[in-house]
Structure 1
Amino acid sequence: MGRRHSRTGADILPALLAEYRFGGVATVVRVLDLPGAVKERVEVLALAGERLLDLDAEDFDHIAAQKALPEEVVAPVRAARFPRRPDEPERGSLRSLVPLYALMLEALPIRWRRREPIHVVVLLHLIAEYLPFLAWEPVLRHAGDPLLLPAFVSVPGGRWGGRTPECDQNAVQRSASARVMTATRGDVPGWQAYLDRYHSRVADALARCASHPMPGRPRLSGVCRSPCPVWTQLPEDVRDDLAARVHLARMFAESPVVELRHHAPVGHFFGVPSPEEIADAWRRTWVRLTRPWQDGANPLLARELSQEDVARSAQLPPSTTGAAAEPLPGLTDMVSAVAGREVRAGTVLRTIRDTMLETLDALRDDTR
């Protein structure tokens, strides 16, 4: 009976891994009659995969320190984590957000295929929240790192972090702008409080600095009408490029698909949008994002997307995209357009899954 139970249980694992159900794999492995080393390896991989899918920053630290995990897993996770101390040498997502976006873009299709719309909506919200940092990254040479940002914004005549009426930042943005100037001077609890409460608001403040009244472009809520040297210190061609990419980022943040987040409260099971509702909201979002601007500066249309591609992506039913295609066609192109470079889905979760399958296949071969 024990062997039959083991074979039946082992047969379940590939089916679970096909949908990246790492938590289910960890549960099944605990009751299987497997060699201790195999059980331990699979369980470590499964727990890491589940934590990465949850995108919990504290879990990233645990995974990055796991010596039992392949380097192909640990290295991208280490690059995507946020430093837990203000003076930590490895800056992770404060240096570049590309590894974190690669992970989010890999996780979203998995959540979609598993029909977990609440997780899809939360991921879209997170993608929108940090997009301004991603847009500013090529200009700053970092992703809003509080160790480095004060030097950039402390320009003579700049209004960053002040309370002058000429600055159009709102109260929340001003508070975050002031907080980032001293974020690295305090203790670890103060640093964690900054990351939890203020960091994404700094992204919002930078977005406003790069947003100005632009006739012929879709209107945004909250722009800078009187640019100070924080903005004007940049060369004109850099300002033009950055302003267009930030404009696109803010259009996405104010789009129908991101607005779904406000109708899907975490922790409740009412008002959660269906996959069909998300797909419809994305189609409407994509139409807005790919609409030409009068000045011809829409960075998404500059990505060699033909009008046929735009129309096809806007109309493609997610249910027919196939396993390898994006459930929300064009999302990766939008992120890349905002970033000003290619940002693609990563392979961390796939590496974890494939490593688990290889471990189980090797065991199966040894027992034949």
Structure 2
Amino acid sequence: MTDGARAVETGLGKALDALIDGANYSGLREVAVTIDLPDDTRAELAKLLDYAASITALDAEDWGDFADAPGDLGADASAAAVPQDPEATDRGALASLVPTYSVLLDVIDARRRQGNISALLMICHIMSEYFPLLAWESHLGHAADPPQLAAYVAKPGSLWGVDADDKRSRDCAHPLSLRGSLRNAIHVATRNQSWDSEEYARLWRRYLDRDHSRVAEGLAICGRQSAGRPDELRACEKKCPVGSEAPGDREALADKLALAAVFTESDLIALRHSAPVGHGFGVPSESELEHAWKRTWAELTKPWKGQRRNPLEGAVGADGEALPGLGALVSAVAGREVPPAGVLAEVD
């Protein structure tokens, strides 16, 4: 090998290492097609990098397309995916959000390694939106999967999605602006005989795009209890069975929803609004991120007034986390241990 060829090879190796260290899988894919490899090896490499790029882009609607990814990668992606077919047997993230949050923890770490703070804050915002479903999951037995949720919220005496002109409307803590989405969760739960498969799939995807996160907001209100908790957001103190007859420990559910609310109203989530992905034009700096997270973690872990004990009181963030303590928060809201999935480390 000539000195020139050796220098090119060394340079390529350093470039590949830098791309891997920065979790730049799209860049790796561009380089991979230029490397002298057998065709089948190149195709396998491209598929693996497409998988990793889709994970880091949070393209969850496509994660079910990677079932044949090497090892456990395909199963991990399928478990975290949002089913685009309303009648799919594999319910993915609607059955459980734990695999999805495990992947999100991976991607947050990747975005921190890249120094992509705007993308990191976007992921934190997504976490905050769906935290109520993660909190309810261990009580419902699913993550608000519409067919099962519809059966639960249709209990006798339920106020779920009640119309404004219903005489019981004032008894419901849900704002009127939210109730249409709550009714849509019931609407798409089962296929109407007048819908063909294409129409049902269209309505389903529209529900996922427009209403599912609002259902999370609705369930947060149903399950909150203000007594002894630092949650000053809208809470339901009515006798509607959706909240009052929540399966399992209702007080524990309210604790988890209180933590979710503190995170949603935190300095960290507020910082997103100064990023291009939010409502402003400035890009937060590393120091701004660190200060915002430090203040957020202090709020999340401080003792509560009253009889309830903060589940995160005294918690310490794990070494090496992009946001030390975020994993403990996710586990506390879930009511079970939720470790990072490790899928990107396996790809690397």
Q: Verify same fold: TM over 0.5.
A: yes
Which residue in the other structure is 1:107 paired with? 107
Tell me, yes or no, if the aligned pair for 2:273 and 2:280 is still in contact at 8 Å. no
CA distance in 2, matches of 1:251, 1:267: 19
Amino acid at match of 1:131: F
CA distance in 2, matches of 1:42, 1:267: 35
Calculate percent identity across the aligned residue pairs.
39
Out of 347, 352, 357, the position equivalent to 2:342 is 347
Q: Which runs of 4 or more aligned residues in structure 1 lie more than 6 Å from their structure 2 counterparts after TM superposition?
A: none
Cα offsets for 1:74-124 (capped at 9, x unmatched): 001000111111111100000000010000001111111110001110010
Cα 1:54–1:153, aligned 2, differ >3 Å: closer, same or farther?
A: same
Which residue in the other structure is 1:61 paired with? 64
Tell me, yes or no, if the aligned pair for 1:109 and 1:327 is still in contact at 8 Å. yes
- What is the DSSP-based 3-state SS (H/G/I as helix, E as strand, rest coil) of the residue aligned with 1:90? coil
Which residue in the other structure is 1:357 paired with? none
CA distance in 2, matches of 1:27, 1:341: 40
Which residue in the other structure is 1:197 paired with? 210
Which residue in the other structure is 1:136 paired with? 136
Cα offsets for 1:180-223 (capped at 9, x unmatched): 01113251010000000000100100000011332x42242222
Amino acid at match of 1:108: I
Tell me how far 1:151 sits from its aligned partner.
1.0
Tell me how far 1:19 sits from its aligned partner.
2.3
- What is the DSSP-based 3-state SS (H/G/I as helix, E as strand, rest coil) of the residue aligned with 1:147? helix
CA distance in 2, matches of 1:332, 1:172: 33
Cα 1:37–1:6, aligned 2, differ >3 Å: closer, same or farther?
A: farther
Out of 2, 6, 22, the position equivalent to 1:19 is 22
CA distance in 1, matches of 2:96, 2:269: 23
Matched, 1:259 2:270: yes
Amino acid at match of 2:174: Q
Which residue in the other structure is 1:365 paired with? none
Matched, 1:217 2:251: no
Tell me, yes or no, if the aligned pair for 1:172 and 1:201 is still in contact at 8 Å. no
Which residue in the other structure is 1:318 paired with? none
Amino acid at match of 2:53: E
Tell me, yes or no, if the aligned pair for 2:236 and 2:243 is still in contact at 8 Å. no
Which residue in the other structure is 1:316 paired with? none
Which residue in the other structure is 2:178 paired with? 173
Tell me, yes or no, if the aligned pair for 1:256 and 1:284 is still in contact at 8 Å. yes
Which residue in the other structure is 1:285 paired with? 296
Matched, 1:84 2:91: no
Tell me, yes or no, if the aligned pair for 1:220 and 1:251 is still in contact at 8 Å. no
Question: Relative contact order (alpha carbons < 8 A, sep ≥ 6): 1 or 2 greater?
Answer: 1
CA distance in 2, matches of 1:228, 1:90: 31
Tell me, yes or no, if the aligned pair for 2:52 and 2:347 is still in contact at 8 Å. yes
CA distance in 2, matches of 1:268, 1:160: 32
In structure 1, list runs of 5 or more residues that go unmatched.
314-320, 354-368
- What is the DSSP-based 3-state SS (H/G/I as helix, E as strand, rest coil) of the residue aligned with 2:147? coil
Amino acid at match of 1:259: A
Tell me how far 1:8 sits from its aligned partner.
3.9
Which residue in the other structure is 1:207 paired with? 220
Which residue in the other structure is 1:362 paired with? none
CA distance in 2, matches of 1:190, 1:229: 28
Considering only aligned residues, what root-mean-square deviation do their CA atoms show, in Å? 2.1
Tell me how far 1:3 sits from its aligned partner.
5.3
Matched, 1:151 2:151: yes
CA distance in 1, matches of 2:13, 2:327: 36
Tell me how far 1:7 sits from its aligned partner.
5.8
Tell me, yes or no, if the aligned pair for 1:168 and 1:223 is still in contact at 8 Å. yes
Amino acid at match of 2:204: W
Which residue in the other structure is 1:299 paired with? 311
